[in-house]
Chain A
């Protein structure tokens, strides 16, 4: 359903002590949008992503997921979510993929994938297993379903983590540098899965250093710098003549990939 706003973030601020990391960031994602968040390390892009599903609590600002606002209250001067129940619900609608996969080490790949649907969404186990096997097929590791995370390569673990997030049938997928912890030869297999997901119409927010992904797969590029959005736009404009001086300098560091 293009035109439906899946995620809307208004004026998010976040400080760690005296240090303000996010200085008022806004962003809207419509259904099917694939947005790449670029920026040097320390620009606040990961913190921004983690504020969206409240792994970090923003000091100020509003977040709407599929039209539902996350209710916040001020307590002792600190911004806090009003209801843990709502937070859990919102999180179940946002799929998160971490830099270091964060699979549950004591569970098999299949158990990792069905954990959320069975225990958070409380759906029938048999149904979840069937869906999980289809998802593992889709990310290309169906034969690993009874293996444990430690027995898989990084690329396979990350694909399992993507399947785990997809099993929750999320409205939006958040990727926090999904290929940064991988050996170079394993990056491709993860990017292929992400590209297929984008082509299926999944709404995605991707913090990444993969310029080729930002340029060729996403339909919008947001460049963050020192806690603000420096510039944003369609990849062709951003990587073409429309680039801001700061962005031009930033992508200059990735010269080999242009």
Chain B
């Protein structure tokens, strides 16, 4: 085992971690916001909005993320409207294209995950909230969203981990994140095994940290489902 090469490869790859984290955090953030919009439309009861949301979810869940990313990166520039608009300086950046396609895609999945959470909220708890005078946004903010989020959290952590791994696709639209840098290093050294092992290790560590964080969040939000602490049991 060539420790010297492994450690130098690792150092090279670690320098790309900030880019991977940037792709990840921006796409989870914007994808999450967009998912909230989509799921609101989906459950709005308005046939037009709900139909649009259904179509959106179908398209972005039903087609490969890589193709979506190619369409954004290579495709958008073909439209004059975009090519000559104020958005072009942003949209010609590979990072922006990668974040955009990652966010658009995760929004479709996350919207469905959030919807399953909303459906799991007991109608009786909603009725109790209405009965004390809650409606509209207050009802969503205080009762529906907190309960729905708790139900959705396990599935949502999976989606977030998938997003971390999907950032690897950004290497194919020339973003120099961990996988992209790994490939460049391999083309220079022809040492596929060592470099990709280092890259895999980095993703494993990142996902381990994310999953730990999500588990902690889930634990702190599920006190009501655990056995009562001894102090609460004694009558």
Chain A interface (Cβ within 8 Å of chain B)? 53, 55, 84, 87-89, 91-92, 94, 96, 98, 100, 102-107, 115-116, 119-120, 143-144, 146-151, 161, 164-165, 168
Contact = CB atoms under 8 A, between A and B. Distances in A.
A115 B132 CA distance: 9
B144 to A, nearest CB: 11
B125 A105 contact: yes
Given A106-B150, A151-B228, A92 B122 contact: no
Given A104-B143, A105-B125, A150 B225 contact: yes
Contact of B131 (A96, A103, A119, A150): A96
Interface of B: 122, 124-125, 127-136, 138, 142-143, 146-147, 150, 221, 223-225, 228, 231-233, 235
Contacts of A55: 127, 130-131
Among the interface residues A104, A151, A164, which one has the most CB atoms of the partner chain B within 10 A? A104
A131 B151 CA distance: 32
Given A100-B124, A119-B142, A147-B232, A106 B224 contact: yes
Among the interface residues B125, B131, B136, B225, which one has the most CB atoms of the partner chain A within 10 A? B131
Given A119-B138, A149-B224, A102 B127 contact: yes
Given A120-B138, A144-B232, A147-B232, A104 B133 contact: no
Given A96-B131, A102-B124, A103-B128, 13 more contacts: A53-B131, A96-B128, A102-B125, A106-B147, A119-B138, A119-B142, A147-B228, A147-B232, A148-B223, A148-B232, A151-B228, A164-B132, A165-B132
B223 A120 contact: no
Among the interface residues B128, B138, B142, B231, which one has the most CB atoms of the partner chain A within 10 A? B128
A73 to B, nearest CB: 17
A168 B146 CA distance: 22
A165 B132 CA distance: 7
Contacts of B232: 144, 146-148, 151
Contact of A168 (B132, B135, B223): B132
Given A105-B122, A106-B147, A120-B138, A91 B130 contact: yes
B113 to A, nearest CB: 18
A115 B142 contact: yes
Contact of B135 (A88, A105, A106, A161): A88
B142 to A, nearest CB: 6
17 contacts: A53-B131, A55-B130, A84-B135, A87-B135, A91-B131, A98-B127, A102-B128, A106-B150, A115-B142, A116-B133, A120-B132, A120-B134, A143-B235, A146-B232, A147-B232, A150-B224, A151-B232
A53 B122 CA distance: 20
Smallest CB-CB A-B distances: 3 pairs? A92-B133, A151-B228, A148-B224
A92 B131 CA distance: 7
Given A88-B135, A115-B142, A144-B232, A104 B130 contact: no
A119 B129 CA distance: 11
B143 A88 contact: no
Contacts of B146: 106
B129 A104 contact: yes
Contacts of B129: 104
Nearest to A105: B224
A46 B78 CA distance: 64
A118 to B, nearest CB: 10
A104 B128 contact: yes
